[in-house]
Amino acid sequence: MSLAHDARVAVRPAAEAQRPAQTWPEVNNPAAWIVAVILLIMPLIANGFFLIEIFATTLILGTIALSLMLLAGYGGMVSLMQLTIAGFSAYMVAVFGISGNANISLGWPWWLAVPMALALATIFGTLGGALAVRTEGIYTIMITLAIGAAFYYFTNQNWAIFNGHTGINTVGTPHFWGVDWRADIPFYYIVLAVGALCYFAVDYISRAPFGLALQGVRDNPRRMAALGFNVNAHRIAAYAVASFIAALAGVLQVWNYRQISPGSVSVNACIDILIIAIVGGITRPIGPYIGALIFVLLRTFALDFLVKIGLDGNRFRLLIGLGFLAIVFWSSDGVIGLWQRWRQSQRRPADRPGGGRSHG
């Protein structure tokens, strides 16, 4: 509760100032245009390794974390099963589509397998959400963590559908219009398109009547119920939307690695998504992507960095854990919050001579 609460206080003035003037605040923000252009021309700048291992992975993880941000930031529900939903969708793509494990995969073409996976994963996430909303607040974390962990152990145990701990390998990727869509550059653009779509969808939801009602439910469920809103229906609907977003990212993830195994849906991976969202900041849709970029950069380069300063290169998770602790201790709104605070402290000396804010 408190995380969302503190952050709310910080972010509201900015959001309110922009809301009446502009439906899409990004349009007037030069930084957003620069980022968009850089992302679009990225294949010219970065080579295959950076394009896929850093940027595409960032966008995929960021999209999964975005679904958590939607639930936690606007709904006040911290769900630890978003990665599980993505993993479920990835498994379904592998099970219904084409893969190296012919005894399991049904061999459907991708345009049938993907909608099936999306639908099933959305149903799975919505049912999990319906379960989680039966209790409130802190219990949500426990129930969703239990769901995520149960799914992990289930994939490990079950050989008939999930192929046990070896998982499903060499998953087929789409080929059409003469393009191999898993080749680096086309795949990057698919990921970018899906990421952008999800980002703007969440951005839109936050200002649409549904999103506003959801934020009302987060702030005061009893008052919203008294006003005639069905509190639980809003929460479950939020889970459904978030599940769909996570499921989209899951499809991209299985195409990216071409395999899926219990290791990809482990409890640590579920917690990584939470870390990404919290480190980036859960009050705005951009937060998860920033968090994901930091996470992926750390994961990729921590080994070299740690070895360079004379430490054991395998202590990557220690670094992540300590960084996460530091963020939780000092900033309730992740990196975005730190950035905003820094901007304010820069602005304050400039404001003071005029005295404009002193009576505010």
Partner 1 sequence: MTRFVERHPAWALIIIIAIAVALWLIFAVWPPGLEEAIGRKRVFLNALFNGITLGGLYFLVASGFTLIFGLMRNVNLAHGSLYLFGGYVGYAISASTGSWILSFIIAFILTALVGVLLQVLVFRRMEGQDLRQTMVTIGLSIVFADLMLWACGGDFYQIQTPNWLIGPIELPLITAVKSSGEPVYLRYPAVRLVIFAASVVIGVAMWLALNRTRIGMIIRAGVDDRDILAATGVRIQLVFVLVFAFGAGLAGIAGVVGGTFQSLSPGEDIRFLLASLVVVIVGGMGSIPGAALGALIIGLAEQLGSVYIPTYAIVVTFLIMVLVLAIRPQGLLARR
Binding region for partner 1 (CB under 8 A): 1-4, 78, 131, 134-135, 137-139, 141-143, 145-147, 149-150, 153-154, 157-160, 267-268, 271, 274-275, 278, 312, 314-315, 317-318, 320-322, 324-325, 328-329, 332
Distance CA 1, CA 75 (A): 10
CB of 162 within 8 A of CB of 91?
yes
CA distances from 97 to 47, 90, 110, 168 (A): 30, 10, 6, 11
- Establish how many alpha carbons lie within 13 A of residue 26's alpha carbon, considering only the half-sphere containing its beta carbon: 13
DSSP class of residue 103 equals T
Beta strands in the chain (DSSP E): 175-176, 179-180
Distance CA 282, CA 284 (A): 6
Q: Shortest approach of partner 1 to residue 353 CB, angstroms?
A: 37
Q: Shortest approach of partner 1 to residue 190 CB, angstroms?
A: 32
Q: Shortest approach of partner 1 to residue 151 CB, angstroms?
A: 9
For residue 168, list its beta bridge partners.
Answer: 260
Q: Shortest approach of partner 1 to residue 4 CB, angstroms?
A: 7
Q: Is 239 exposed, middle or buried (0-12, 13-18, 19+ CB in 10 A)?
A: buried
Burial 56-74 (b: 16+ CB within 10 A, else e): bbbbbbbbbbbbbbbbbbb
Q: Shortest approach of partner 1 to residue 154 CB, angstroms?
A: 5
Closer Cβ to partner 1, 134 or 352, answer by number: 134
Q: How many CB atoms lie within 10 A of CB 223?
A: 12
Closer Cβ to partner 1, 60 or 274, answer by number: 274
Q: Spell out the residues 6+ positions from residue 334 whose beta carbon is closer than 8 angstroms to its own.
A: 277, 278, 279, 280, 281, 282, 287, 290, 291, 327
Q: Shortest approach of partner 1 to residue 306 CB, angstroms?
A: 12
Q: Shortest approach of partner 1 to residue 162 CB, angstroms?
A: 9
Q: Which residue, among 39, 7, 2, has the nearest Cα to 336 in the 3D structure?
A: 7
Q: Shortest approach of partner 1 to residue 280 CB, angstroms?
A: 14
Closer Cβ to partner 1, 33 or 139, answer by number: 139
Closer Cβ to partner 1, 179 or 325, answer by number: 325
Closer Cβ to partner 1, 177 or 329, answer by number: 329
3-state helix, strand, coil in the chain (%, to 5): 75, 0, 25
